[in-house]
Structure 1
Amino acid sequence: MPADRLHLVRHGEVENPRRVLYGRLPGFGLSADGRRMARQAAEYVSTLDRPIAALACSPLQRTQESAEPFTELFGLTPRIDERVIEPTNVFEGRRMVRALMNPWNWRHLRTPALPSWGEPYAEVVARMNEAMTTAWDAADGGDVVIVSHQLPIWITHLAVAGEPLRHDPRARRCALSSVTSFEMRDGTWTEVAYVEPASTAGAVDVGAV
């Protein structure tokens, strides 16, 4: 028996005083507010009163820390899945405003539909779908929680909705510690809910690809 529902949970706020695009760089863990946000996301899922059969997260520090409240509430050890990691990006470690002021970097913007500055959107969709399908099929009923990142979750939403993958990163609907939920119906993913259970007022959210 496969899973009943799959929740893609974004990590909480990251400690990022320099406000750089952190991407896959090591050493970027949750802030104190980020830990609170992650807890609120887990508490929201627990209020659904649905059994959680499995928990997975990307290998990056911020997602592993965001999975900790789920471990505490549901008693599950997270499985590390490389397929739900943040995409690569040539601007890692830089402040985007400053990077884009340098004409030398403009070449990375030549094909925004791909995008030319990082991992192709189509590849992100493929690996996320593979990870989600694997987790779905492996569950013996109940729900699955996968803690991931803004771009993988948002691009999955676009693909499931049948919308173009090219988009303005500033217009993504994927807040810190948000929960985007899916079901597999007749072999096709269907988005069934999007919720922002965490209080994010004043949060710093500039590190996503």
Structure 2
Amino acid sequence: MPSSTVHLLRHGEVYNPAGVLYGRLPDFHLSELGRQMADCLAEHFARRAHDGARIVLLAASPLIRAQETAAPTAAALGLEVGTEPRIIEAENHFEGLKVTPRELLKPKHWPYILNPLRPSWGEPYEAQAARVLAAARDAARTAYERGGEGSEAILVAHQLPIWAARLKAEGRPLAHDPRKRECTLTSLTSLTIDTSTGSVVSLRYTEPAARLLPGAATTPGA
């Protein structure tokens, strides 16, 4: 079975003193802690490459926080950062707002909160999972072409699309409680993909920057 591993890397902490749901808004850069997280991931991948891992592809969402997270790893591995639009953050009606119970009680929002299973406030979970898994399959095939069996790729993305892709790959329902996502800042959701069929044959979750998580932002989807 020809296979490659694709690491879905969530970006680092973002500077967001107002606590808004920034979604796809521009100019939300990494915080100082976020930059430390990005450096930590670069060190993690550099160690793996030193130990023999063949990491041959690196791409990120178009959003600045993902591009900034990818930059230290690109420098450490000598790779260029490609831009992969299919792994961008999910669309969300509440983008730019601080989502509080008081805000949700405003009548203008009611049509958007009728169906949390889809969800009605943004891009459907199915659509998110489909685009991220399609990008991962293409990255796996490209990595295999460049590096052969066991080669690896890194895609820097966002919490909700990564989580939707994981749920889909594991055959679990896509509707979920956002507070229970296992996808912390700069965590890795690593998919080993059969490049001949595109199927996910194994999945592993790790937190290389776990020591930096205490005190970091915990807004779901941020």
TM-score, normalised via structure 1 length: 0.94
CA positional deviation for 1:131: 0.8
Query: How many residues are treated as equivalent by the alignment?
Result: 209
Q: Where in structure 1 do 4 or more consecutive aligned residues deviate above 3 Å? A: none
Q: What is the aligned partner in structure 1 of residue 60 from structure 2?
A: 57
Which amino acid in structure 2 is aligned with residue 35 of structure 1? R
Which amino acid in structure 1 is aligned with residue 29 of structure 2? G
The Cα RMSD (Å) is: 1.7
Q: What is the aligned partner in structure 1 of residue 176 from structure 2?
A: 167
Contact 1:87–1:118 (8 Å) recurs in 2: yes
Cα-to-partner distance string for 1:49-80 (whole Å, 9 max, x where unaligned): 31210000000000000001111110111110
* Distance in 2 between residues matched to 1:2 and 1:135, nearest whole Å: 14
* Distance in 1 between residues matched to 2:35 and 2:140, nearest whole Å: 27
Identical positions, percent: 44
CA positional deviation for 1:106: 2.5
Q: What is the aligned partner in structure 2 of residue 178 from structure 1?
A: 187
**Aligned pair in 2 of structure 1 residues 47, 90: CA closer, same or farther (>3 Å)?**
same
Q: Which runs of 5+ in 2 are unaligned?
A: none
CA positional deviation for 1:99: 2.3
- The 5-angstrom pairing of residues 134-173 of structure 1 reads 134-139=138-143, 140-141=146-147, 142-173=151-182
Q: What is the aligned partner in structure 1 of residue 74 from structure 2?
A: 71
Q: What is the aligned partner in structure 2 of residue 118 from structure 1?
A: 122
Q: What is the aligned partner in structure 2 of residue 46 from structure 1?
A: 46
Q: What is the aligned partner in structure 2 of residue 13 from structure 1?
A: 13
Local SS of the residue matching 1:137: helix
Contact 2:129–2:162 (8 Å) recurs in 1: no
CA positional deviation for 1:196: 1.0
CA positional deviation for 1:135: 1.1
* Distance in 2 between residues matched to 1:207 and 1:168, nearest whole Å: 10
CA positional deviation for 1:112: 1.0
